[in-house]
Each structure stands twice: as C-alpha cells, then as structure tokens.
Amino acid sequence: MKPVVISGTGLFTPPNSISNDELVTAFNAYVELFNAEHADKIAAGEVTALEPSSSAFIEKASGIKSRYVMEKAGILDPTRMTPRIKERADEELSLQAEICIAAARQALARAGRTPADIDMVLVAASNMQRAYPAMAVEVQEALGIEGYGFDMNVACSSATFAIQTAAAAVQTGQARAVLVLDPEITSAHLNFRDRDSHFIFGDACTAMVIEAADTATSEHQFEILDSKLKTKFSNNIRNNFGFMNRFDEDGVGQPDKLFRQQGRKVFKEVCPMAAAMIRDTVEHAGLKIEDISRFWLHQANLSMNQLIVRTLLGRDATPEEAPVILDRYANTSSAGSIIAFHSHQDDLTSGANGVICSFGAGYSIGCVVVRKK
C-alpha cells in the first residue's frame, strides 16, 4: 500500500473560557434554587435534595481546570444552564460548518495545500448539528472543494476512525488528499444540571490533511505506519436523542436525551482495552512500546490517561511523553487527541514515533501509529 501522511493540522478554539470556579458558582446557585423550590417534597422524602459541587471535586475527579465554549452566559445562568445561540436561516453558513472552516484553513496552510488539492471532506464528530444535508457537504461547498464529502459518528473515537477511512481513500486512489474535520460543540449535549458530568466537556474543532507521501511537501508530515479500530457495545456512555423522540412525548426533554455515563464502569472497562489496543497496534507496526516517543491520548480524564500509559511503560509518563491539554480544554470528545497532536508535535525530530489513540462511547477505540518525517 502506498505510504500516507498527515501533512497538516488545524485547531479552532472558541473565544469563551469557563473556569471551574465560574461553573461551580452557577451550578451551586441552581442547586439552591432547586432545593428551595422543592423544600416541602424534600422534607417529605418525595424528592432528593441536590448536592453542591466544588472546584476541588472537579479537578480531583477529572484533572479539568477550565473549558472553552461557544457561548458562556447561558451556561452560567442558573435559571437556564444551556448556551444561548440563535438558530441561523437555511441560507446562512451553519455554526458547525463555520468552525470547521476556521480549523480547515489552518490545516491547509500547514500542509501547503489549497481547497483545489482536496478530493474528499470527512466530518467526524460525536454530534452533528442536523441530520441532513451532511455537514461535510456544506463545508465542501463553502471551501470550493470538488469531489465528495460525508459525515461519520463513532463518538469520541470519530477522529481516529476518520484517519483510517481517509488513509484508505488515498491508498485506493479515490482521493489525492482528504480533509478530516472534528467539530465538537459538546456544550449542546451536556447536562449542566448534573453534578457528576456538568464539568466534563468543552467545545473545539480540529482539522487534518491526509494525503499520499509521494506528493506531500509540508514540513509537518507524519507517516501513518499502522492503525487499528475496535468497537464493543456498551450502554455505559449513552445519549438517546434521535429521530424517534417525537414518537413518545413523555420522553421529550428528559435527561437521557443528553450525555450520561457510568463513569466508574467506563474507567474500569476502557483503560485495559485501550492499553491492549495500543500495544497490539504498535507491535503490528513492527515497533516496541519503547520505540514510542509520544502518546497523544484521548483527553477525557487525567487518571485514565495516566493509568493507560503506566500500564504500557511500567512507570509514570513524563509530560513530554503523554502531553495533556485536558486541563484547559476539558473533554472535547473526538477532537481531544488531535488537539494534543496538533499542539505537541513540532518539537519531535525526524524518525520519532508516536501514537494517537482515542476511546469512548460504543465502546469504540481507535489507534494510529505515526512517524515524523
């Protein structure tokens, strides 16, 4: 198979950041309002009183200190706790397409490519803004790209699954180059009234240009040495929002139509799966774990990443070996590992090996082994 490279990456970061302290202040104000409103039922044992949160709890549980969001005033309003973003007319550029284009332009510039060089656009993310037309086709039109585009969803593993899909398209001659985009507006599906998860997610969009090595001219090339994908069904991370919600009015607006997870089960089950997946993919690429200079892991939970790398190395990883962006960006779903890759790649020397690995709902795990050119 012809060699394929990631020749450029891009990142869109929203202008608004929310610290843990800001988030906790809003959440605790909501808790006070709820408990006051339901005081009689709480006293009668008919309703369970809500518990306040704290910045210390959030950082200990996740390693997160802040997160970027598309709009923060609505999130921090204890009577609303949802972003305030107006719908756009069908004739206007969609919000998700807008952030895709911002990240795409940066990736194209780093790759030394123009839209005329791209034959395929792949938008891979946990939640699409709409059902159809595909977001990828709108982005393709806005950038003036010929060829084709489509959307895909493998939750937090969408980006790594997209890398393999894009690489296959290049190897089979279906596309000279592929633009992969991961627009994660996670604040739209996060329940900011849930103490166990209100702090988890942040918004961002990443972009990658994937093309044949023999035509790439970029100074930022990483050859894709091998990749492996795995899925295993689990209800431990779930969101029931979908086309059929209107069938049963009783379910409209219920908490299960937003993100929810059983965190302890996810931690216990996913960590060993991810570690085994990384080891298998590295060995299949003809390398050893000791040959890997950098692990760009899914940025969901600091303790998960520390455990996975400790399992592989037999020791704690240094900040250089397993860079963390989770503290500033929070969990940006499929974009997380690519933000880490984009932000912590330029210092590597030619010939250095690395692993991009993501894991999430499904369960889904994607692992890609790359080498700096």
Active site positions, annotated: 156
Residues 185, 129: Cα–Cα separation, whole Å: 9
Distances (CA, A) of 52 to 34, 72, 205, 253, 325: 11, 20, 31, 23, 27
Determine contact, residues 107/8, Cβ cutoff 8 Å. yes
Nearest alpha carbon to residue 256 among 231, 283, 273, 235: 235
Nearest alpha carbon to residue 260 among 233, 234, 238, 235: 238
Positive/negative CA dihedral, 173, 175, 176, 179: negative
Determine contact, residues 155/237, Cβ cutoff 8 Å. yes
Residues 52, 32: Cα–Cα separation, whole Å: 8
DSSP, residue by residue, 337-358 = HHHHHHHS-TTPPTT-EEEEEE
Distances (CA, A) of 75 to 111, 198, 333: 36, 10, 19
CA 310 to mean position of chain CA atoms: 23
Determine contact, residues 294/318, Cβ cutoff 8 Å. no
Please, which residues bridge with residue 154 across strands? 156
Tokens representing residue 191 in the block: 């329940």
Helices (H), the chain: 20-37, 39-43, 55-62, 95-111, 135-143, 158-171, 263-284, 302-313, 326-329, 335-343
